[in-house]
Amino acid sequence: MVEAERMRVSVIGTGYLGATTAACLAEMGYEVMGLDVDEAKIDLLRSGKVPFYEPGLADLLTENLRTGRLHFTTDFPEVAAFADLHLICVGTPQRDESGAADLKYVNSAIDNLAPHLTRPTVVVGRSTVPVGTAATLAARLCALAPVGEEAELGWSPEFLREGFGVEDTLRPNRIVLGTDSPRVEKAVRALWQQQVDEGIPFLVTDLQTAELVKVSANAFLATKISFINAMAEVSEVAGADVIQLAEALSYDDRIGGKFLGPGLGFGGGCLPKDIRAFMARADELGVEPALSFLREVDAINQRRRARTIDIARQLIGGNFAGCTVTVLGAAFKPNSDDIRDSPALDVASTIASLGAHVTVYDPQALERAREAHPELNYADSMLDAARDADVVLLLTEWAEFREANPEELAAVVAQKRIVDGRNALDPIYWRASGWTYRALGRQ
C-alpha cells in the first residue's frame, strides 16, 4: 500500500473504460488524475456523478474523491506534471463505411500530452487499436516529447465488460503488456502488483501481439455468438430447438456454455466495430482472406435483427402500419446504459419506420435512447410501455424482463403476443398464461 500511495497515474479519456479505470486505481491506493477533453463529463465526475450506468462505480468515485486520491482535469500540462505513468483510454470508434478504426482521438491524446513531458515518462495505451498502431504512436511520442526517448510507450489492452467494469478492473483474468522496454514493464508490473500477487497472469509480449490479443479475443467472442445464431437459423427451418442444442453443446468443455446464448446477437461499442476494424486492417496488411469469415459473423448477426422483425410482423398479421408495438430494452445488453449499436434500438427504429407506433422501456438507458432516437416513444415502466400493445418484443435481457409476470402484462396489452428476442423467458409459463410466444431458433 505504501508503494501504491506513492505512485501517481493519469488516465486520459474518462469514458466507460477510463472513468472505471481511474476510480479503481484510486481504490487500489494510487493518486490518480483523470483527464478528458469533454468539460461537461469532467464537471460531472468532479461532482461525484458517473456520466453512465456502471454497477458499483458511483460508490468508488464518491469515496475516492472524498479521500483526495482521485482528481479530474481537462488540462494536459497538469497531468504531465502530476504523473509519471499515463494510461490512454480514449475512444477508437468506427471511422466510416470501410469499417476501419478512427485513430484521431489516440493521435490527439499523444499530440497533446507529449509536448509537456519534460522528465522520463511511461505512456501505456489501453484503447483497442489496429495492430501496428502502437509502434507508430511510440515514434510520434518520442518525436514530440522534450525528453525524446525517455518518453516510452507500451500497449496494454483492456478486457473489461461493461456491467462488470469494477470487478473486471480490480480482478482481471489476465494482464497483457506489449513492450520491449524494461522501464515500461517495471512501471506496469508495479501498477498491478496487487493483482500479480493474487496470481493473476501477467503476460509480456511485443507491441503487435498485445494489440492483436484484444482484437482476436473480440473476434472469437463475436464468432461464438454468431455460430450459435447460425445454428438458430438452421433450427428454425429444420424443426429443431436451439436452446436444447446449445445446452447439449455446452457440456463439452472444449466448447463451454459462455457466449453460446442464441438470440438477437451482439451490439455495443466494442464487438461490431472491433471485428470490422480487424477486417479493414487485415485488408491493409494483405491478409484479407484470413479474416473473411468475420464478414459472415457480422452478416449472421445482422440477419438476426431482420429475423426478429419478421417474427413480429408475422404475429401481427403481416403489416406494421398503424400497429402498437412495445420494445422492452434499449441498452445493447443488461446492466449497462450503453446504446452504441444497440440491436434493440435498431429493431425498434426499423419497426417504427414501417409505420408502427413503437414505445420503448429500459431500466437505465432511456435518457440516451431518447436523445439518439427521438422518432420512438418512451415509457417510464414496463407496464406503461406495454399498454394497448399489439405485440411485445423483449430485446435486452434485463432481470426485470426475465422476471416479468405474464398475468400482469396481459392485463394491459391489446393482444397477448410476445417475441422473446433473447430467449430469456420460459415459453411453457407464458403460453400457459394465454400468450402467443415466439422466440429465435425455436418452434
Within 266-295, which residues bind ligand NAD (CB under 6 A)?
Answer: 269-270
Distance CA 417, CA 396 (A): 17
Closest approach, Cβ 69 to ligand NAD, in A, equals 21
| Residue among 27, 54, 152, 162 that touches ligand NAD (CB under 6 A) | 162
Nine cell digits for residue 223? 464468432
Closest approach, Cβ 292 to ligand NAD, in A, equals 23
354-377 core/surface letters (b: 16 or more CB in 10 A; e: else): bebbbbbbbbbbbebbeebbeebb
Annotate each residue in 115-134 with x if it binds ligand NAD (CB under 6 A) or - if it does not, as one string: ------------xx------
Within 94-113, which residues bind ligand NAD (CB under 6 A)?
Answer: 105, 108-109, 112
Q: Applying CB under 6 A, does 26 fall inside the site for ligand NAD?
A: no
Which candidate in 24, 89, 270, 323 is catalytic?
A: 270
Distance CA 279, CA 98 (A): 9
Q: Applying CB under 6 A, does 349 fall inside the site for ligand NAD?
A: no
| CB distance 417 to 436 below 8 Å | yes
Using CA atoms, how far residue 152 sits from 3, 37, 120, 144, 202, in Å, is 22, 23, 8, 12, 20
214-240 core/surface letters (b: 16 or more CB in 10 A; e: else): bbebbbebbbbbbbbbbbbbebbeeeb
Q: Applying CB under 6 A, does 373 fall inside the site for ligand NAD?
A: no
Q: Applying CB under 6 A, does 398 fall inside the site for ligand NAD?
A: no
Distance CA 190, CA 78 (A): 23
First to last CA, the chain: 57
24 is catalytic: no
Closest approach, Cβ 47 to ligand NAD, in A, equals 16
Q: Which one of 35-43, 131-139, 170-178, 188-196 is the stretch in contact with ligand NAD (CB under 6 A)?
A: 35-43
Closest approach, Cβ 277 to ligand NAD, in A, equals 9
| CB distance 228 to 242 below 8 Å | yes
| Residue among 27, 31, 54, 158 that touches ligand NAD (CB under 6 A) | 158
Q: Applying CB under 6 A, does 301 fall inside the site for ligand NAD?
A: no
Closest approach, Cβ 40 to ligand NAD, in A, equals 10
Q: Which one of 14-22, 324-332, 389-397, 409-417 is the stretch in contact with ligand NAD (CB under 6 A)?
A: 14-22
Q: Which one of 32-40, 281-289, 296-304, 387-395 is the stretch in contact with ligand NAD (CB under 6 A)?
A: 32-40
Annotate each residue in 210-249 with x if it binds ligand NAD (CB under 6 A) or - if it does not, as one string: ----------------------------------------
Closest approach, Cβ 270 to ligand NAD, in A, equals 5
Closest approach, Cβ 96 to ligand NAD, in A, equals 17
Pairing outcome for strands 121-125 and 151-155: parallel
Closest approach, Cβ 162 to ligand NAD, in A, equals 4
Query: In the complex with ligand NAD, which residue's Cβ is closer, 34 or 441?
Result: 34
3-state secondary structure of 16: helix
Q: By beta-carbon distance, which residue lies closest to ligand NAD?
A: 15
User: How many other C-beta atoms are found inside a 10 Å radius of the C-beta of residue 4?
Assistant: 17
**What's the half-sphere exposure (Cβ side, CA atoms, 13 Å) at 35?**
21
Query: In the complex with ligand NAD, which residue's Cβ is closer, 208 or 350?
Result: 208
Q: Applying CB under 6 A, does 152 fall inside the site for ligand NAD?
A: no
Angle at 258 between CA 253 and CA 259, to 5 degrees: 130
| Sheet of 436-439, strands arranged across | 377-378, 357-361, 324-328, 391-394, 417-420, 436-439
Q: Residues for the chain: how many in total?
A: 443
Least Cα distance to 103 among 288, 284, 266 occurs for 284
Nine cell digits for residue 110? 499523444
Distance CA 388, CA 50 (A): 36
Q: Applying CB under 6 A, does 79 fall inside the site for ligand NAD?
A: no
| Residue among 7, 9, 11, 14 that touches ligand NAD (CB under 6 A) | 14
Q: Which residues make up the interface to ligand NAD (CB under 6 A)?
A: 12-18, 35-38, 41, 89-92, 105, 108-109, 112, 127-128, 158, 160, 162, 269-270
Residues tagged active-site? 270
